[in-house]
Structure 1
Amino acid sequence: MTCTPARPVASQGITAPAGRTLLPLTPTGTRHGGRSFMTCQYRCGNACDHPEPNRTGHGHVQDEIAKAVARRSVLKGAAAGSGVMVLGGTLAAAAVAPAAADPTGPTTARPVSGDLATAAFTPVRPNRRDAVVTPSGFDHDVVIRWGDGVVAGAPAFDVRRQSPEAAKQQFGYNCDYVGVLPLRDAKRDRKDRSLLVVNHEYTDEALMFPAGVYSDTEITAIAMANHGMSVVEIRRGSRAGSWRRVKSLKKTRHNRRVHIDTAFVLDGPAAGDERLRTSADPSGTTVLGTLNNCAGGTTPWGTVLSGEENFNQYFDLPSGEQLDQRYTDAYARYGITGSGRGWSAVDPRFDLAAEPHEPHRFGWVVELDPYEPDEAPVKHTMLGRFKHEGANVALTRDGRAVAYMGDDERGDYLYKFVSRDSMRTGPSARARRHNKTLLTAGTLYVAKLVGDGTEDGQYDGTGEWLPLCDETTSFVPGMSVADVLLFTRLAADKLAPTRMDRPEDVEPNPVNGKVYAALTNNSQRGSTFQPDEANPLTSSMVRSSIGAPLTPAAGNRNGYVLEMTPAGSDHGAGTFTWDLMLVCGDPEAPETYFAGFDKSQVSPISCPDNVAFDDRGNLWISTDGNALGSNDGVFRVPVTGAERGRVTQFLTVPRGAEACGPLVADDNRSLWVAVQHPGEVDGATFEDQASTWPHSDDFPRPSVVVAFRDR
């Protein structure tokens, strides 16, 4: 998240019975946008208070006219409440009706009819409720919670009797990506059952453990086991669009819990490289566990991809030891400092002095086949190593797989991979085996965006995919294929791509063929990062709370949604055009833009994080770190026609939580959302919680929910 100046806060920590602090809860420093100190510390090791890893001076849109225009303040000469896009004091279109004075958005009641893609519902107003809030006419179910059993034999969850062994059988903490796949039975799809696949990104020990119950070592070991992924069989509920987990675990053949001790196969050109070898794995081809899994995607061949993101924070350096000087530049570029989470006290492979190669075994895209519970998941080196938000696949005209990816750090890049081979269709086992090799050979690219100047009243331009390497050849001078894949950030730096404002989820729209990227924010745009046409804002309007006045804050605080159109509408093309479809924020703020739609008719939106699509091509956006005083939520946005750019809030999540997922499924009848870190509010502890959602206990439990029409 981004950094907003604030009053320094004294450092706190979890104090175990022996009195040793496990991890600071509220680091002294600056507040990060709408996120709490607690979220920043536990999720990414407080990355935004450290120097950004990308220290290159390149990567800005290269058109000099565009840069000159974009460097003007977008607030200059703008009248608050105008319904147009403000470009350095110029207007993108003729003025429309002024925005409503009420910052909570439109309130006109609308009758509910149709499915999630077509329903005209009353937007959910910004709020601070400790609840999942949906529009009138819709409801939701909690499908699975932290601690619920996943595999047969899992013990009943007891917050005061947790153990690593139990956690490896239960639904992990802080759910993020949500995938739902049809359950195949005897080579057919079952209409009443599906498989739910979920990531578990990180843990918050302050909210998970009662004081005085566990030792330091127990807390660390249990937290480690709560990372990973879950595969859970679900069944239809009594109402259309509703789902329930199958609770009779002995009858769930596909249920699976992937955890810190699960063996993964490393494949692709870098597998076996000496820099992937450790004392426990001298072959460099087998890794235990997956860390900080954020977003992901479901492939056309029916597997799930999961992105390893902020893996750098898990590695410790004992006092008096030095980082391995062979990897000084690489460690720095990935934010690996040796200031970890204390995991080396439980497992010595997280000790950088003992195992300097272990960090190289994380930061990959993982592929898991939910239909094969005994098959080892794979880490694909061909897709490069960086802080993956996720990976989402489309097909070229000739059937090759294209995976779009974002590197979630301020100033980092957009990537794509194009497979060498084409996907085979049909249900045969041979075709399926072939398709699961598509991500092992092909070409990896990084994006460079060029602006065309803002005289046309738009933030837009053209782009090029710069090749980094294929499975046999590096296109980066002085680097081998293995170098490029292991240290993709360093390789990309040499090609001068465009430094973006935290590129997170990047997904192709299956209806219109365009690609949409959530650029969450960057408070340092305009200072450390010079503005350009693709990243133009140097000041944004924010609110301290609902109903508070808008006030200016440095940098891009509310984020953008980038729309990319591949040349010839072919995902295999080497070039594309782009525009900023959304400049997020409050409609009353002059810098905001909603694809030209009337700003008086849109909901405020801040910090887009993940994107998804219904089968009519509408864009669905979940947010993380709302800088407008409200809880985070999920929004529907048409991308074509008269309604293009009409941002409508469909759902908000509880206090302190982030909306993850989202996924529109089941013929537009179901909206899946992972409610991550409810109650993660500064000052909260297990004994003094800020949330008790989903209100089944006196402490919060991250959970997956499904929303649907209340018929």
Structure 2
Amino acid sequence: MHELLPVLSTPRHAGGRSALTCRYRCGDACFQEVPNTSANAYAGDIIAGALSRRSMMRAAAVVTVAAAAGATAVGPGAGRAEAAAAARPTSSRHGRTDGARGLRFTPVAPNEHDTVTVPAGHAQSVVIRWGEPILRGAPDFDPERQSARAQSGQFGYNNDFLSLLPLRGEHGRQVMVANHEYTTETLMFRDYDPENPTREQVEIAWAAHGLSVVVVEERRRSGALAPVPRHRLNRRITATTPFRITGPAAGAPLLRTGADPSGTRALGTFNNCAGGTTPWGTTLHGEENINIYFANGSRPTDQRYGIAPGATERKWERFDQRFDVAREPNEAHRFGWVVELDPFDPDSVPRKRTALGRFKHEGAQPRLTDDGRPVVYMGDDERFEYFYKFVSSQRMMRGTSRAAREHNLTLLDEGTLYVAKLTGDSPGEIDGSGRHPADGEFDGAGEWIPLATGEVSHVPGMTAEEVYVFTRLAADRAGATKMDRPEDVEPSPRTGRVYVALTNNTERGKPGKPGADEANPRVLNKHGQILELAEERDDPARERFAWRLFLVAGDPADPATYFAGFPKERVSPISCPDNVAFDPHGNMWISTDGNKLGSNDGLFGVATRGERRGELKQFLTVPVGAETCGPVIQDRRVLVAVQHPGELDGASVENPASTWPDGPGRIVRPAVVAVWRTDGRDIGV
């Protein structure tokens, strides 16, 4: 039996992650110099624009939901961080916990348990684990006899974004698409030597990256889901799968390599973080920390994207020269895009959409204008980076005909790419403490600055090709607002408001770094915030918007925190918001990454409308060392991807820090989990 490492026995990085996570996921980005050294102005330096808080309220009407007043609860066993937020539960005459519709459950207390903890009256089960076979001929997982061939037919590692799509004609079945962001070799291979990985270990890692498509079916008399092995739609996309490069930069000289002189065909995808589901039935996947896979960076553009000089952590460049920038300088330019996959066509070639720009994509979630044009929102997950949107010039075709499907697969190749610039309406009042200005809210105006439309650049001194390939530099020149790690950016299907998860930024306010501004109001920001944008609902393609901070995260006892005006003694503590999703009632659900309050990461629901707007309740926590990812919120089921469980400093196969999900003596495995009510009713009602 393995002996567990002491939980939280080593200090974590500034954002709350372990050093092991930072090492394998982002190449110790916390300890590297901030790549954005541009001198463009930030929101605190700019006089407030024409839009105000009043115009924001006009731009997106608040839908009032009648609800009985009552306190939420944080359960027993809470530690120091949650004690200040604990309150007695209030139940209705029917015995259910009170709250906004969709959030009527007893909150889970913050904890450090090595399991998935769910509210009373709920059950859970693992849907699928790393290594489970999904393709015909793939063997059962054997941690002591792994191979690249086996892994290429098995569910990949470190599951992140999830999408569930209905499967017509097969009752009780859905198509699940999962991202596999990165690999943690020291938790995958016994006796792993990071200085001398073997070719087999490297090829297993190539196969464990990418995407999985797997059909899942409901279990009778429960909310559990189980994979359907060998289904005709099941598929693995890996670091060596052929891709098409499409859009205005396809074929450009900056994308041509020795292996692909056309600049239109790439091999593989990796570090896929969050994503999106399109109205036309495809899925989008953001390539994020691609810099950590490329060695020997030396150019200014390499530095701007975080490609460091010297060897990489995984040493892939020893086994394929395309990962060596000194030998194949353009290969890195073929990563950092949004990938589009058709999960209903297992023979289709996935595509990299250059019109959406190249940066560290956290995700990409589209919505339609009233005239049917897709608008895609995206965040660049790094300190002092920007958030973007793309507005297609084409309208979506309705229906399922072949012509409609072929047309819709071109929607993300033509349009305009924008970056956001924000101004506050309380200049001179932001002191970095998180104290609210005199008008009571952090709010102001915003502008979408066009960067490129098709083959036309809107950035002086840069060609359109350069704008798409070096989008960060284009945004620098355009004067975009430097933000606190923009991660997921999602529009609400109910209100049209757009929510930007800003995870944290402990560099803000340090010597030589930008100080606080109204959209990023705290220096040394370790807990993050969520920004709310109001665009015209009938035309999100407009170039003006209003904004305000919806949530300023942290311990509710901290005066700097804010929960949309809801009483802070009646909310759960939250730190480091990462991904967001919406339930059928219009509530926003938030997953966290790197909780800096001393407890495990979790999933939270928060009301965005009505009298309970800002009421935030913790729905679950994930095991020790894990991150909560990929939330999918259905009427009767919640899915989360439990990524990197047991990923604490000093952990290894021989010395694990977690026994999840299979117990002592079994290797720790990332997995997807489903949660449902034991009485069979809808979640939170």
Among 398, 408, 417, which residue is 1:435 paired with? 408
Alignment of 1:509-588 (within 5 A): 509-527=492-510, 528-538=513-523, 555-567=524-536, 570-588=539-557
* Amino acid aligned to 2:542: A
Alignment map for 1:356-375 (pairs within 5 Å): 356-375=329-348
Using a 3 Å threshold, how does the CA distance of structure 1 residues 233 and 568 change in structure 2: closer, same or farther?
closer
Partner amino acid, structure 1, of 2:529: Y
User: 1:599 is matched with which residue?
Assistant: 568
Alignment correspondent of 1:486? 469
Q: In the alignment, which of 117, 120, 144 is matched to residue 136 of structure 1? A: 120
Q: Counterparts in 2 of 1:323-334, with a 5 A limit?
A: 323=297, 328-334=299-305
- In structure 2, what is the equivalent of residue 152 of structure 1? 136
Match of 1:336 in 2: 307
- Give 1:241 deviation, angstroms: 3.4
Q: How many residues align?
A: 624
Q: Note the 1:252-331 alignment, pairs <5 A.
A: 252-317=231-296, 323=297, 328-331=299-302
Deviations 1:564-604 (A, max 9, x none): 00035531111111110000001111100000101110000
Shift in Å at residue 279 of structure 1? 1.2
**Letter matched to residue 306 of structure 1:** H
Residues 426 and 108 from structure 1, CA distance in 2 versus in 1: closer, same or farther, beyond 3 angstroms?
Answer: same
> Helix, strand or coil for the counterpart of 2:163?
strand
Q: Evaluate the alpha carbon distance shift between residue 593 and residue 62 of structure 1 in structure 2; reply closer, same or farther with a 3 A threshold.
A: closer
State the distance in 2 between where 1:116 and 1:174 align: 33
Quote the Cα distance in structure 1 between the aligned partners of 2:111 and 2:567.
23
Q: Give the Cα separation in 2 of the matches to 1:516 and 1:412.
A: 16
- The code of the aligned residue for 1:700 comes to V
Q: Is the 8 A contact 1:240 1:669 kept in 2?
A: no
Asked if residue 221 in structure 1 is aligned to residue 203 in structure 2, the reply is yes
Identify the residue that residue 102 of structure 1 maps to in structure 2.
Answer: 83
Detail structure 1 runs of 4+ shifted over 6 Å in the superposition: 96-101, 113-116
1:394 counterpart (367, 376, 385): 367
**Superimposed CA distance per residue, residues 235-281 of structure 1 (whole angstroms, 9 cap, x where no aligned partner):** 1112353321114x2xx010000011110000001111111111111
Contact 1:99–1:588 under 8 Å retained in 2 = no
d(CA) in 1 for partners of 2:300, 2:16: 32
SS in 1 for 2:420: strand
Q: Name the structure 2 match of 1:14.
A: none
Per the TM alignment, residue 513 of structure 1 is displaced from its structure 2 partner at its CA by 0.7
Q: What is the SS of the residue equivalent to 2:474?
A: helix
Which residue number corresponds to residue 623 of structure 1?
592
Whether 1:205 aligns to 2:205 is no
Q: Which amino acid aligns with 2:677?
A: R
CA contact (8 A) 1:32 1:40 kept: no
In the alignment, which of 673, 679, 682 is matched to residue 705 of structure 1? 673
- CA distance in 2 between counterparts of 1:266 and 1:32 reads 37
Deviation at 1:337, TM superposition (A): 1.3
Letter of the structure 2 residue corresponding to residue 494 of structure 1 = R
Task: Measure how far apart 1:346 and its partner are.
Answer: 1.8
Q: Which residue of 2 aligns with 1:683?
A: 650
SS at match of 1:184: coil
Q: Post-superposition shift, 1:113?
A: 7.8
Matched, 1:635 2:594: no
Q: Indicate how the Cα distance of structure 1 residues 99 and 526 shifts in structure 2: closer, same or farther if over 3 A, else same.
A: farther
Which residue of 2 is the match for residue 472 of structure 1? 455
Partner-residue secondary structure (3-state), 1:455: coil
Report the CA distance between 1:217 and its aligned residue.
Answer: 2.6
Deviates more, 1:518-527 or 1:210-219: 210-219
Quick check: 2:353–2:412 contact (8 Å CA) kept in 1?
yes
Q: Deviations over 1:134-185 (max 9, x none)?
A: 0001111100000001211101111011111111111111000000001134
Show the counterpart of 1:589: 558
Aligned partners of 2:293 and 2:671: how far apart in 1?
24
Q: Relative to structure 1, is the Cα distance of residues 30 and 99 closer, same or farther in structure 2, using a 3 angstrom cutoff?
A: closer
CA separation in 2, counterparts of 1:49 and 1:377?
Answer: 34
Distance 2:192 2:515 in 1: 49
1:55 matched to 2:37: yes
Corresponding residue SS for 1:220: helix
Matched-pair contact (CA < 8 Å) for 1:292–1:310:
yes
Indicate conservation of the 8 Å contact 2:245/2:266, yes or no. Answer: yes
Amino acid at match of 1:120: R
Q: Which amino acid aligns with 1:561?
A: I
Q: Please say if 1:499 is aligned against 2:482.
A: yes
Asked if structure 2 preserves the Cα contact closer than 8 Å seen for 1:451 and 1:460, the reply is yes
Q: Could you tell me which amino acid in structure 2 is paired with residue 176 of structure 1?
A: D
Q: Is the 8 A contact 1:106 1:603 kept in 2?
A: no
Could you tell me which residue of structure 2 aligns to residue 234 of structure 1?
Answer: 216
Which residue among 449, 453, 456 is the counterpart of 2:439? 456
Do 2:213 and 2:233's aligned partners in 1 also have CA atoms closer than 8 Å?
A: yes
Alpha-carbon distance, 1:114 to partner: 11
Deviations 1:590-620 (A, max 9, x none): 1000001011100000000000001211000
Distance in 2 (alpha carbons) for counterparts of 1:201 and 1:55 = 27
Match of 1:191 in 2: 171
Identity of aligned residues (%): 54
Asked if the contact 2:591/2:629 (under 8 Å) is kept, the reply is yes
Q: Give 1:57 shift.
A: 2.2
The unaligned stretches of length 5 or more in structure 2 are 1-7, 50-69, 75-81, 427-436, 680-685
Change (3 A) 1:119 1:492: closer
| Separation of aligned partners in 1, 2:384 and 2:464 | 24
Counterpart code for 1:467:
P
Q: What is the match of residue 169 of structure 1?
A: 153
Pick one of 660, 678, 692 that aligns with 2:629: 660
> Residue 219 of structure 1 aligns to a residue in which SS?
helix
Amino acid of the structure 2 residue aligned with 1:708: W
For 2:399, give the aligned amino acid.
Answer: G
Q: How far apart, in 2, do the equivalents of 1:59 and 1:231 lie?
A: 43
Give the match's secondary structure for 1:456.
Answer: coil
Aligned in 2, Cα 1:112/1:134: closer, same or farther, shift over 3 Å?
Answer: farther
1:403 deviates by 0.3
- Measured after TM superposition, the shift of residue 98 of structure 1 is 14
Letter in 2 for 1:266: I
Deviations 1:546-566 (CA, angstroms, capped at 9, x unpaired): xxxxxxxxx111000110000
* Equivalent position amino acid for 1:105 in 2: A
Q: Which secondary structure does the structure 2 equivalent of 1:275 belong to? A: helix
Cα–Cα, structure 1 residues 215 and 572, in superposed 2: closer, same or farther, change >3 Å? closer
Label 1:58 to 1:146 Cα distance change in 2 as closer, same or farther (>3 A): same
CA RMSD of aligned residues (A): 2.3
Number of the residue aligned with 1:447: 420
TM-score normalised to structure 1 length: 0.85
Partner SS for 1:41: helix
Deviations 1:43-95 (A, max 9, x none): 0000121111110122411565779xxxxxxxxxxxxxxxxxxxxxxxxxxxx
User: Shift in Å at residue 97 of structure 1?
Assistant: 11
Equivalent position to 1:352, from 313, 325, 335:
325
2:40/2:477 contact within 8 Å kept: no
1:30 positional shift: 8.0
- Change in Cα spacing, 1:628 to 1:107, as seen in structure 2 (3 Å) is farther
Q: Closer, same or farther in 2 for the Cα pair 1:615/1:306, shift >3 Å?
A: same
Q: Given that residues 109 and 121 in structure 1 are in contact (C-alpha distance below 8 angstroms), is that contact kept between their aligned partners in structure 2?
A: no
Q: Which amino acid aligns with 1:362?
A: F
| 2: CA distance, partners of 1:684 / 1:568 | 49
Deviation at 1:442, TM superposition (A): 0.2
CA distance in 2 between counterparts of 1:264 and 1:115 reads 47
Q: CA deviation at 1:105?
A: 3.0
Q: Is the 8 A contact 1:115 1:709 kept in 2?
A: no
